[in-house]
């Protein structure tokens, strides 16, 4: 190797020597390597130089917008100029879909929130880190354990940015934030892992992903950006192998003065945020739940203290989506402002307001995605639903913003159910062209329900059992109290009222529980400076009402037959009996009420299918009584128990009702005129599937275990036992055999379904289901001995029942049933 020594004091010689060296390297094949080394040197020099001058980064071509940060759009790049006093601040980053392909997912549409997380910008060694922050685990920073909490909850870095420049007085740091929106950052993307797998997404195509707009407002920054994914099986336009989505990222500064949180009382249903507080002096960490609620404080505290109604400093305001049809807007507004009566119970007037969307002249910056606005979104989608999500401060539960989503086709479901459940007693419901006023009233109440969620209230499925069944047949009662004690239950229509009942309210409305819950959650206590200080008053408020069924809460996720979806009234047997009476009058009228001259029978098929579903729901309400356990939430200063088994008489009555109404052949449902218009075949299989499903539910292993435990705890004095259930079901389902009579094809199918279910209980592992499924080890419980005994009894009885006086098919059926039982009891290996 040749070496050239050139003095740094002789520039000419140094240049000449370098030139000769490059010539030599070119001949020797080393020139490229030397050039690469030179480029590396230049890059290293650039790194050593650090940030550039502000004017060299934020050029005259920048389109700038001032607000929370100054944001600059230069070509296809976006720069954030982050004030140093905004570093280390808690900010909520909310990701929403602004535009998406059809059929992406039933509940993902324009306006859907896909992620929500707290972030902090952190300046570190010429870099700016974007960290995701959690408040699940906390401790007072004055305590030694605070350090352990920090290190055991180390915050992930979402993105790392180089400092491009500082502003002139170094009060802000400038970064190129482009890649946050153009790279595939899963935490803010529109497609989760399940959707990526479903549509076989390989990657984000950065060449077709870009930033559309960036806007900065006083407390938030809104970025609109396009994401394009390469997908081999996209939900629409399959030949493109593409999914393109328009995403909106809202970054909201959380309050410097956090709202004082309110501790949750499980007896009042609320959405909550949870924290594990390691500052507790108890012998374990203290788990706390804070209710999610808007910050309402009176403009005039003195007047509020005197008991006067006072306007809040900042009311809750909902804007209607510009896409909302004009004729429905009045009903949407009423649905929102219906909650004013509840807030008045908490001492506030005009606490919640509904407004039309501002025109471009009134507010040129208005956007439904802007985190400063809460909006009722109207979505062009075939989804039949509505949802009421909200965005809250995870530190305190303060609700900051909410976007309620109404899906266009939701009206169709309400129209259908209105016809089916109230048509017998309600002439206005007997048509597919429901009067606009009736449809508007339904929409109003759906919006009220979703606003209730956005105010912090979850479903209260126990509220529908608060009223006596016969009270639902009273016009005076239903007009005053509605059909359930809250609009937050799934009690949509009064299906109990019978033809001839006068002045009945058929559609739900706000009830006494709604006023009670809002007063508990939103009444302001200015003298209470900590959550613990206000708790005694809140506790006493609940204690005074909790024994009244109107004010009780139940989630509907347990085994309480009084906390079910879609039911009304305090007695499921009587309510379902009334409901079936009405359906039996509706079924023969379906053709007349649902068909239009010159059109096909699509509507008839849809309504008949939903009628079958309504019947099935009524059956399910009664099944829940068997092995049911009623729950009344209480605290230790209250008398009585929390869990109480359903009475023996009620359970036995329920089984008898099921044998008569669910498991007897439903001749009224098998309308030949309907079936021959909508299906070539299928009636027999439809009935079999429905009856088999309810039979399997009745003979569920968890239900059986609850009967076993009830019997054990009651010393066999008042319990409806497992032996009682199995004997009642056997005698009821095989009644034709015991009477030595023929059974029709529907009953024979049901009896075979019974044998299959018993076989499963005898031989198969039983999978638990549901959020609070009863735990049971079937092989080590009393279930299998009881099932085996029932099968042995049935085998003997069927052998005795078979006779040549029966039809050939019935004889074959009994012989086959005996054979099946023998295979179960002594399976051939």
Asked if residue 17 has pLDDT above 50, the reply is no
Q: What is the pLDDT of residue 24?
A: 42
Q: What is the pLDDT of residue 418?
A: 94
pLDDT digits (tens, 9 = 90+) for 650-672: 999 999 999 999 999 999 998 88
Asked if residue 494 belongs to a domain, the reply is yes
Asked if residue 184 belongs to a domain, the reply is yes
User: Which tokens go with 600?
Assistant: 């096909």
Q: What is the pLDDT of residue 163?
A: 96
Asked if residue 520 belongs to a domain, the reply is yes
The band of 8, judged by pLDDT with boundaries at 50, 70 and 90, is: very low
Q: What is the pLDDT of residue 440?
A: 93
Across the range 577-597, mean pLDDT stands at 95
Q: What is the pLDDT of residue 111?
A: 72
Asked if residue 741 belongs to a domain, the reply is yes
Asked if residue 407 has pLDDT above 80, the reply is no
pLDDT digits (tens, 9 = 90+) for 336-355: 999 999 999 999 999 999 99
Last residue of some domain: 191, 221, 253? 253
Does 427 lie in the same domain as 560?
yes
* Phi-psi map region of 598: left, alpha, beta (phi>0 left; psi -120 to 50 alpha): left
Asked if residue 134 has pLDDT above 70, the reply is yes
Does 231 lie in the same domain as 205?
yes
The band of 828, judged by pLDDT with boundaries at 50, 70 and 90, is: confident
Taking alpha carbons only, the member of 146, 119, 139 closest to residue 288 is 139
Does 705 lie in the same domain as 608?
no
Does 481 lie in the same domain as 346?
yes
Q: What is the pLDDT of residue 148?
A: 67
Task: Give all strands (DSSP E) within 385-543, no chain letters.
Answer: 386-387, 390-392, 399-407
Does 455 lie in the same domain as 312?
yes
pLDDT digits (tens, 9 = 90+) for 683-714: 899 999 999 999 999 999 999 999 999 998 88
What gap in Å lies between CA 304 and CA 790, rounded to an integer? 68
Last residue of some domain: 631, 666, 694? 694
Residue 231 backbone dihedrals phi, psi, to 5 degrees: -135, 130
- 3-state SS assignment for residue 128: strand
Q: What is the pLDDT of residue 310?
A: 97
The band of 409, judged by pLDDT with boundaries at 50, 70 and 90, is: low
Asked if residue 802 has pLDDT above 50, the reply is yes
Q: What percent of the chain has pLDDT over 90?
A: 71
Spatial neighbors of 218 by CB under 8 A, at least 6 apart, are 67, 68
- 3-state SS assignment for residue 595: coil
pLDDT digits (tens, 9 = 90+) for 622-652: 999 999 999 999 999 999 999 999 999 999 9
Does 588 lie in the same domain as 563?
no
Q: What is the pLDDT of residue 606?
A: 92
Does 566 lie in the same domain as 577?
no
pLDDT digits (tens, 9 = 90+) for 458-496: 999 999 999 999 999 999 999 999 999 999 999 999 999
As to burial, measured by CB atoms within 10 angstroms (0-12 exposed, 13-18 middle, 19+ buried), residue 401 is buried
Q: What is the pLDDT of residue 16?
A: 41
pLDDT digits (tens, 9 = 90+) for 150-207: 656 668 899 999 999 999 999 999 999 999 999 999 999 999 999 999 999 999 999 9
Q: Which of 365-379, 730-744, 782-796 has the lowest mean pLDDT?
A: 365-379
Residue-averaged pLDDT of the chain = 88
Spatial neighbors of 26 by CB under 8 A, at least 6 apart, are none
Q: Which of 30-34, 526-530, 553-557, 766-770 has the largest mean confidence?
A: 526-530
Q: What is the pTM of this model?
A: 0.86
User: Which tokens go with 121?
Assistant: 């910008």
- What separation, in Å, do the N-terminal and C-terminal C-alpha atoms of the chain show? 85
Does 538 lie in the same domain as 575?
no
Q: What is the pLDDT of residue 44?
A: 52
pLDDT digits (tens, 9 = 90+) for 262-281: 999 999 999 998 877 666 66
Asked if residue 726 belongs to a domain, the reply is yes
The band of 39, judged by pLDDT with boundaries at 50, 70 and 90, is: low
Asked if residue 293 belongs to a domain, the reply is no
Asked if residue 578 has pLDDT above 50, the reply is yes
Asked if residue 221 has pLDDT above 80, the reply is yes
Across the range 669-681, mean pLDDT stands at 88
Q: What is the pLDDT of residue 1?
A: 33
Counted domains in the chain: 5
The band of 612, judged by pLDDT with boundaries at 50, 70 and 90, is: very high
Range of the domain at 825: 699-829
Last residue of some domain: 631, 663, 694? 694
Asked if residue 4 belongs to a domain, the reply is no
Does 216 lie in the same domain as 141?
yes
What gap in Å lies between CA 519 and CA 541, rounded to an integer? 10
Over its C-alpha atoms, the chain yields an Rg (Å, rounded) of: 34
Across the range 746-758, mean pLDDT stands at 97
Q: What is the 3-state secondary structure (H, E, C) of 642-682?
A: CEEECCHHHHHHHHHHHHHHCCCCCCCCCCHHHHHHHCCCC
Q: What is the pLDDT of residue 774?
A: 84
Does 621 lie in the same domain as 515?
no
Of the two residues 770 and 342, the one the predictor is more confident about is 342
Does 454 lie in the same domain as 360?
yes
pLDDT digits (tens, 9 = 90+) for 412-456: 888 899 999 999 999 999 999 999 999 999 999 999 999 999 999
Does 140 lie in the same domain as 224?
yes
Asked if residue 284 belongs to a domain, the reply is no
């Amino acid at each position: 190797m040749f070496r050239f020594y050139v003095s740094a004091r002789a520039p000419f010689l140094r240049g000449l020597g370098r030139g000769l060296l490059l010539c030599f390297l070119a001949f020797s094949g080393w020139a490229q390597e030397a050039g690469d080394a030179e480029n590396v040197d230049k890059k290293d020099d650039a790194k050593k130089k650090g940030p550039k001058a502000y004017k060299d980064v934020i050029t005259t071509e920048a389109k700038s917008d001032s607000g929370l940060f100054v944001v600059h759009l230069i070509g296809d790049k976006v720069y954030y100029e982050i004030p140093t006093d905004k570093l280390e601040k808690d900010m909520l980053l909310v990701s929403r879909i602004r535009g998406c392909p059809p059929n992406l997912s039933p509940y993902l549409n324009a306006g859907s929130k896909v992620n929500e997380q707290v972030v902090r910008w952190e300046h570190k060694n010429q870099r700016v880190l974007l960290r995701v922050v959690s408040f699940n685990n906390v401790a007072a920073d004055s305590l030694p354990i605070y350090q352990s909490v920090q290190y055991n909850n180390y915050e992930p870095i979402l993105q790392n940015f180089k400092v491009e420049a500082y502003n002139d007085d170094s009060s802000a740091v400038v970064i190129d934030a482009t890649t946050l929106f153009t790279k595939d950052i899963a935490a803010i993307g529109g497609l989760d892992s399940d959707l990526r797998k479903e549509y076989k997404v390989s990657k984000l195509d950065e060449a077709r992903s870009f930033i559309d707009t960036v806007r900065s407002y006083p407390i938030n920054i809104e970025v609109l950006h396009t994401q394009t994914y390469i997908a081999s099986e996209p939900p629409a336009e399959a030949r493109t192998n593409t999914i393109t989505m328009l995403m909106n990222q809202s970054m909201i500064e959380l309050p410097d003065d956090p709202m004082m949180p309110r501790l949750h009382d499980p007896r009042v249903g609320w959405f909550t945020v949870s924290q594990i507080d390691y500052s507790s002096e108890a012998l374990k960490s203290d788990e706390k739940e804070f209710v999610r609620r808007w910050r309402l404080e009176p403009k005039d505290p003195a007047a509020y203290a005197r008991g006067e109604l006072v306007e809040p400093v900042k009311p809750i305001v909902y804007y209607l989506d510009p896409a909302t049809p004009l004729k429905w807007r009045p009903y949407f507004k009423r649905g929102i402002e219906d909650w004013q009566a509840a807030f008045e119970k908490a001492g506030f007037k005009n606490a919640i307001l509904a407004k039309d969307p501002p025109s471009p002249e009134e507010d040129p910056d208005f956007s439904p995605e802007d985190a400063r606005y809460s909006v009722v979104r109207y979505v062009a989608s075939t989804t039949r639903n509505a949802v009421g999500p909200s965005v809250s401060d995870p530190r305190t539960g303060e609700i900051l913003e909410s976007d309620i989503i109404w899906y266009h086709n939701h009206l169709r479901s309400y129209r259908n159910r209105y016809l089916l459940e109230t048509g017998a007693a309600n002439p206005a419901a007997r048509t597919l062209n429901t009067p606009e006023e009736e449809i508007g009233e339904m929409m109003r109440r759906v919006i009220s329900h979703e606003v209730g969620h956005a105010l912090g209230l979850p479903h209260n499925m126990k509220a529908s059992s608060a009223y006596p069944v016969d009270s639902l047949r009273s016009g005076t009662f239903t007009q005053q109290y509605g059909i359930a004690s809250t609009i937050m239950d799934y009690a949509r229509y009064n299906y109990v009222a019978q033809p001839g009942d006068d002045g009945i309210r058929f559609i739900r409305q706000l009830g006494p529980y709604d006023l009670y819950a809002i007063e508990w959650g939103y009444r302001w206590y200015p003298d209470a400076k900590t959550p613990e200080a206000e708790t005694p008053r809140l506790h006493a408020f609940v204690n005074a009402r909790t024994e009244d069924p109107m004010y009780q809460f139940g989630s509907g996720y347990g085994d309480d037959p009084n906390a079910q979806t879609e039911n009304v009234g305090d007695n499921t047997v009587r309510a379902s009996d009334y409901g079936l009476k009405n359906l039996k009058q509706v079924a023969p009228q379906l053709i007349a009420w649902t068909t239009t001259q010159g059109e096909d029978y699509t509507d008839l098929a849809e309504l008949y299918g939903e009628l079958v579903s309504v019947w099935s729901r009524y059956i399910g309400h009664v099944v829940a009584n068997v092995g049911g356990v009623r729950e009344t939430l209480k605290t230790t200063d209250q008398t009585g128990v929390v869990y109480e088994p359903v009475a023996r008489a009620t359970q036995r009555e329920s089984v008898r009702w099921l044998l008569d109404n669910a498991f007897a052949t439903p001749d009224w449902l098998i309308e030949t005129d309907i079936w021959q218009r909508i299906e070539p075949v299928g009636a027999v299989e439809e009935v079999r599937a429905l009856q088999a499903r309810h039979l399997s539910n009745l003979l569920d292993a968890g239900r059986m275990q609850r009967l076993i435990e009830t019997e054990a705890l009651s010393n066999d004095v008042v319990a409806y036992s497992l032996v009682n259930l199995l004997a009642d079901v056997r005698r009821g389902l095989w009644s034709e055999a015991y009477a030595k009579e023929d059974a029709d094809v529907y009953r024979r199918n049901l009896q075979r379904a019974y044998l299959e279910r018993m076989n499963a209980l005898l031989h198969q592992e039983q999978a638990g289901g549901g959020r609070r499924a009863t735990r049971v080890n079937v092989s080590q419980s009393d279930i299998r001995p009881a099932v085996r005994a029932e099968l042995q009894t049935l085998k003997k009885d069927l052998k005795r029942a078979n006779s040549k006086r029966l039809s050939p098919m019935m004889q074959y059926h009994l012989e086959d049933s005996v054979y099946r039982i023998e295979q179960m009891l002594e399976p051939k290996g």
